[in-house]
Amino acid sequence: MRKTVVYELVSLDGVAEGPDRFFTDWDKAMDANLAAVIATQDAVVLGRRSYAEWARFWPDSPIQPFADFINGVAKHVATSTPLDLDWAGATAIDGDLVDVVRELKQQPGGDIGVHASISVAQTLLAAGVVDELRLVIAPSIAGSGRRLLDGLPPIRLETIRSELSPAGYLLNDYRVLGGPAD
């Protein structure tokens, strides 16, 4: 069965919105971490807002290896409206997000990534369909903005890996074990 992997850039206080405010340095360890995450993925799930922003930026971006990855991968977009931008490999999710991800997990293929889409990540975590949570934590407090883990039920995690990058960012990978009674 395929895994669903949430990859997010967050501040120390858990803010995931506008990470360019608190991610000011990027080093080779962070590049290698991202390359390892996307190397196993052949599909991504995005929210409508992330899709709209990314469809304008990534098709012409020289930032590698992510540009080649995101431009070539199947993109499943959680939206209730038609996609207003054409981006290769993108389709609107027809039906319930959680049900669609559960169906994708049963199909052959690589990991299913969730990148940048806070509400999608929260919905999938709350529904218990996320297998791994991979966070890059900036050594700064954002103070305001949407937090990745707000509003979620209790979820048990197991640390798979924790590493400090040369620029001081924490690269933390967790296996999602389930709720407190699971």
pLDDT, position 134: 98
Tell me whether residue 91 is in a domain. Answer: yes
pLDDT, position 33: 97
Tell me whether residue 40 is in a domain. Answer: yes
Q: What is the pLDDT along the chain (182 residues), one digit of tens a residue?
A: 899 999 999 999 999 999 999 999 999 999 999 999 999 999 999 999 999 999 999 999 999 999 999 999 999 999 988 887 789 999 999 889 999 999 999 999 999 999 999 999 999 999 999 999 999 999 999 999 999 999 999 999 999 999 999 999 999 999 999 877 56
Mind spelling out the 3-state secondary structure of the chain? CCCEEEEEEEECCCECCCHHHCCCCCCHHHHHHHHHHHHCEEEEEEEHHHHHHHHHHHHHCCCCCHHHHHHHCEEEEECCCCCCCCCCCEEECCCCHHHHHHHHHHCCCCEEEEECCHHHHHHHHHHCCCCEEEEEEECCCCCCCCECCCCCCCCEEEEEEEEECCCCCEEEEEEEEECCCC
Tell me whether residue 5 is in a domain. Answer: no
Tell me whether residue 15 is in a domain. Answer: no
What is the extent of the structural domain holding 96?
Answer: 26-172
Query: What is the count of structural domains for the chain?
Result: 1
pLDDT, position 173: 98
Phi (first) and psi of residue 158, to 5 degrees? -120, 125
pLDDT, position 27: 95
Tell me whether residue 14 is in a domain. Answer: no
Tell me whether residue 103 is in a domain. Answer: yes
pLDDT, position 182: 62
Tell me whether residue 49 is in a domain. Answer: yes
pLDDT, position 21: 95
pTM summary value: 0.95
Q: Among 35, 21, 6, which residue's Cα sits nearest to residue 116? A: 6
Tell me whether residue 52 is in a domain. Answer: yes
CATH code at position 111: 3.40.430.10
